Structure 1
Amino acid sequence: MSKKNNKFQKRLEAMTDDKGIVQHSDLHVPNPKYDYSIDDQARALIIKTRTDPSNKILNLYLDYLIDAKRNDGWFNNYKTEHGKWEARNGKQEDSGDLQDCYGRTIWALAELLGKDCLGSSKQKKVRTLFFDSLEMTENLQFPMSKALASIGLSKYLAKSKNDSVKSANLQLVCQLQADYHKHSDKDWKGFSTEYTYCGPRLAQAMILAGQSLTRPDLTEIGKQSLHFLIKHTIPNKFFRAIGNKGWFQKGSVPSLLHEQSIEAGVMAEACVDAGLDKQAQIAFSWFHGNNSINHDMRSQHNSIYDAITETGVNKNQGAESIISYLMACSKMQ
């Protein structure tokens, strides 16, 4: 880990209290009134697993995931500043809202199991949680949820052989393969009629599945999807994220309104896994000022600004933004 990246790691830890990493900030000040999200804990766990597995804060993120497991097999997402699980409307979340959370949680657990950095008792607990949760892959309905879970299963298979994991992963990516063939044509390479939040994850999932399952046809789909996204987001020498106000609809052009920081990190990660080092560097350099407004997205507080908006930079510096930067850093190195 470079000294510069270590500053961002310290910032990540500073945004973490006894419940987990705080989801949102007012400018650079974390505000627990906005609740905690399992998505942030899972991604923070991935970062620490890759870069600093002996850090005790890893167990804090892990405990959030363990405590989030529900009787119906899903994982709760939001925890209030008072430590209670609830949705934004004050009620327990519906399973349809928790599928992406499930995918990220499975991914984080898979990476952690591959590192073997826990004590035997905790390692056994994580392994049990991972395999007890595996059957829920059959209930995933959305391409992104399937992709996130598949990335985790591919990570697991890269380190260990297991027929149950292989079968679950194959089921997920075959569904994604069918979605791709259903919606793609000569002018559109996608798994539905739109690309929205973190679109390159879909391509990344297919690329990693192709490698872990020895299925070149899946890898090819992933590369086709990724090259399509690169064509529309790196037309010149800088990355322009698909804006979250309108996204990218089939038959149209990508929205240019409101570029979220996470999009640059996800694109960089996907390009690394595809062996596209030049494009990965371009996407990653978005954080350093090689973007549509030539603005460094790293703040003086060793955090990351949330977005480029129609009026300039969104100066809030939430968990997702610094996490996306550090996840990309862990791949770029």
Structure 2
Amino acid sequence: MNNSILNIAFIGNYLPRQCGIATFTTSLCESVAAAHPGLSCFAVPITDIPEGYVYPDRVRFEIEEKNLESYRRAADFLNSNNPDIVCLQHEYGIFGGDDGIFILSLIRKLRMPIVTTLHTILQRPSARQRRILTEIAERSSFVVVMTEKAVDLISTVYNVPLSRIRLIPHGIPEMPFIDPSFYKGQYELTEKTVLLTFGLLSPNKGIEQVIRALPEIIKVKPETVYIVLGATHPGLIRHEGEAYRLSLQQLAAELHVEKHVLFRNRFVSPEELKEFLVMADIYITPYLYEEQITSGTLAYSFGIGNAIISTPYWHAAELLADGRGILVPFRSPEAIAEAVIRLASNDAERNTMRKNAFLAGREMTWPVTARKYVELFQEARMTRHSVTGQNQAALPLGGLFSEEEQNELPKLKLDHIKRLTDDTGMIQHAVYTVPNHNEGYCSDDNARALILMVLLSSQAEKVDPEIDRLAGIYLGLLQYAWEEASGRFRNFLNFDRSWRAEIASEDSHGRVVWALGTCLGKYANPGFQGAAAQLFEKALPVVSQFSSPRAWAFTIIAIHEYLQRFSGDRLVDGIREELSSRLFALYKRNADPQWPWFESYLTYDNAKLSHALILSGHDTENREMLDAGLGSLKWLMETQTSPRGHFRPVGSDRVYKKGEEMPLFDQQPLEANSAVSACLEAYRITGDFYWHKEAQRAFRWYLGGNDLSLFVFDALSGGCHDGLHVDRLNQNEGAESTLAFHIALSEMKEADKSILLEDPAPSQINKLSTRIGGEV
């Protein structure tokens, strides 16, 4: 699998909504999309007004802020579109419910990794605020903060591990270092000393402190102009109208500085904002409270290269340290006046401060920030399994089965198998749970489907016409797959029933032989036995010419089943002896104490090699061969065990070569099925309950006993997901995966029935695989 990020969803306010979160989310999303043209980026904003906003095409889904059901629908939308990463912007005030608690109903349903940017971190949160932020952090692969102070708060107050915290400064526009006079002419401010504060107006911004400082400033610098740039916060407008702005204008009039204060009452575009920032000789953030962990306006002015005066709220105290700005006490117009006069009178100090800020800001530009986020998204996707495991290690079966069923194997449900089956055969692939007719059929899957029907028929107390009907369809396709001229089975059949030109693999041929042998050995339907016998007799001899160890193994298992009913067939017995000798010789040629295996690598369906050797060693009373089969299987199961003790099959992302690191993803349902079958065979032959326990552990992989603690089996559809990615399930439920699960399930049920009939000791009964809870 290619683990690169292809699709990202951004949740947060979005322009043209007027707020700092909207500006940030829009800038981040657009910067990521611009810096990485191969990425698909879309936004899911929170809308706070009934009429909504005229969003750009980047916006795919709107969440109604105060509508809880809208958050759930958004989760369904995201799961349906299946982005690789969700990037969530969190601020308590932008989501519905008390303290924005509605957002939890969304993220609890998401199946993909989440990276959350925290815009507010309270030092003294309420119990509910702490719970909300703690859960968001737990459900996120990583949380992003913008200051060192934020790192300290989120780790100490909310107990988020430092390994899951990333510091990425607030992004800023990319601009050259320009002299303030460059834009002053077009605003008729050429001879003025320009002070600037921008952002949505609200009382906590402290604008009145600068206005109160102006009389003293004007005495020394009468050409000073203070620009207050930005509309009043929309939330404030809804509740109080323009009362705050009017109070500022009245204050300026009372102090006789109204001609020196210019109010620009609008939400300016990014391009216009750059002009104002460049034009400012001094930028001021006179905020009234310390507990401001992030200020986008401060970050923008800093990165553009402004000389800055600020009160020492958290973000400013950190960003303006070491001579990068001047910090003044809260609510001190006198200190503001002194600092402004100092900088306005000292060009060298002011320009040095500007240059220091500009240079430090080069690591904060949006292209740099976008690159850091994409790198983090990649890391989140690659490490999702371990995070999910920490958070959900105790989620074996909850919610999918009744309380009684939680302690039992799932009930047989053939709905999805029937959905994938038409009158030709089983369609090999699905888009989610819908058959994908474009991919047609394959002999491989119809062979597996026939094996399942044979197993189910042999376990049934009476003849089931539906099982016979399905078995007839699958066997009929295998008959159609036989090509007399080549003496081989074809594999890929188009939906229009025409065969594709490529030659079928030896493994595909061997798998069909396995199905035919199983049908002959176990199926009670004489008509099916007769049809299978004709094909088996034609198809078996050519396997002796094959070089594939897995084709040998499938055929050995087929012959074992066949000889259960026709033990006197010396020709077939001879072919088994020949293939078993080859497989055993392969093992002895490649095995060593650290790598007791048939090949110098592991690929797919690995346990079938051990399975075949165990059967042949037992059936031919060759103890050395049997021990080699058991030893190789034991090593394989140990190799496929995670540090937490659950089954972790070799991933199909690449071949696992001896001496290299084991690939962990994509994990395939076929491997769990193969392990279950081999371990149950080892248990039947040896009577050692260790093997039954190993089969139980491998089967739990389908039911949450895996790296992501997620159900691979879909209890709703009766299907099985096509694999376990590094960060999520493959949402498609194709034939191979669904059949792998059902074959494993039927074999587990049969094994448990046999154990009960054998009347095991009480200690063994307690370990029966029907008790599958509690160890995941």
Name the structure 1 match of 2:571.
Answer: 164
Asked which structure has the greater RCO (Cα within 8 Å, sep 6+), the reply is: 1
Name the structure 2 match of 1:239.
Answer: 647
One-letter amino acid matched to 1:16? T
The alpha-carbon deviation at position 212 of structure 1 amounts to 2.4
The alpha-carbon deviation at position 4 of structure 1 amounts to 4.4
1:84 aligns with 2:498: yes
SS of 1:103's partner is helix
Q: Is the 8 A contact 1:102 1:149 kept in 2?
A: no
Please give the residue correspondences for 1:1-333 in structure 2 after superposition, counting only pairs within 5 Å: 4-7=410-413, 9-52=414-457, 54=464, 55=467, 56-70=469-483, 71-86=485-500, 91=501, 93-94=502-503, 97-120=504-527, 122-161=528-567, 162-235=569-642, 236-275=644-683, 276-299=691-714, 300-333=716-749
Q: Is the 8 A contact 1:157 1:212 kept in 2?
A: no
Q: Is the 8 A contact 1:74 1:98 kept in 2?
A: no
SS of 1:274's partner is helix
What is the alpha-carbon distance in structure 1 between the residues aligned to residue 498 and residue 481 of structure 2?
10
SS of 1:307's partner is coil
One-letter amino acid matched to 1:315? Q
52-61 vs 312-321, which deviates more? 52-61
One-letter amino acid matched to 1:32? H
SS of 2:719's partner is coil
The alpha-carbon deviation at position 116 of structure 1 amounts to 4.3
What is the alpha-carbon distance in structure 2 between the residues aligned to residue 176 and residue 205 of structure 1?
9
What is the alpha-carbon distance in structure 2 between the residues aligned to residue 182 and residue 309 of structure 1?
34
| Alignment root-mean-square deviation, CA | 1.6
What is the alpha-carbon distance in structure 2 between the residues aligned to residue 49 and residue 43 of structure 1?
10
Name the structure 1 match of 2:398.
Answer: none
Show CA shifts across 1:113-151 (max 9, x none).
11242344x533321221122211211111111111111
One-letter amino acid matched to 1:6? L
161-170 vs 123-132, which deviates more? 123-132
What is the alpha-carbon distance in structure 2 between the residues aligned to residue 123 and residue 199 of structure 1?
29
Show CA shifts across 1:260-298 (max 9, x none).
111111111111111100110000000000100100112
Structure with the bigger percentage of helix: 1
295-304 vs 209-218, which deviates more? 209-218
What is the alpha-carbon distance in structure 2 between the residues aligned to residue 111 and residue 241 of structure 1?
26
What is the alpha-carbon distance in structure 1 between the residues aligned to residue 433 and residue 523 of structure 2?
34
What is the alpha-carbon distance in structure 2 between the residues aligned to residue 305 and residue 116 of structure 1?
29
One-letter amino acid matched to 1:329? L
The alpha-carbon deviation at position 246 of structure 1 amounts to 2.1
1:131 to 1:237, Cα distance in 2 relative to 1, 3 A? same
One-letter amino acid matched to 2:530? K
What is the alpha-carbon distance in structure 1 between the residues aligned to residue 440 and residue 618 of structure 2?
37
The alpha-carbon deviation at position 3 of structure 1 amounts to 9.7
Q: Calculate the TM-score normalised by the size of structure 1.
A: 0.93
Q: Is the 8 A contact 1:79 1:85 kept in 2?
A: yes
One-letter amino acid matched to 1:80? N
SS of 1:60's partner is helix
SS of 2:424's partner is coil
How many residue pairs match? The answer is 323
One-letter amino acid matched to 2:608? R
Show CA shifts across 1:30-83 (max 9, x none).
111112110100010000011036421101000111111112111000100000
What is the alpha-carbon distance in structure 1 between the residues aligned to residue 535 and residue 634 of structure 2?
36
215-224 vs 101-110, which deviates more? 215-224
Q: Larger C-alpha radius of gyration, 1 or 2?
A: 2
The alpha-carbon deviation at position 172 of structure 1 amounts to 0.5
- Give the unaligned 5+ runs of structure 2: 1-407, 459-463, 684-690, 750-776
SS of 1:154's partner is helix
Show CA shifts across 1:200-223 (max 9, x none).
110011111122222222211111
SS of 2:542's partner is helix
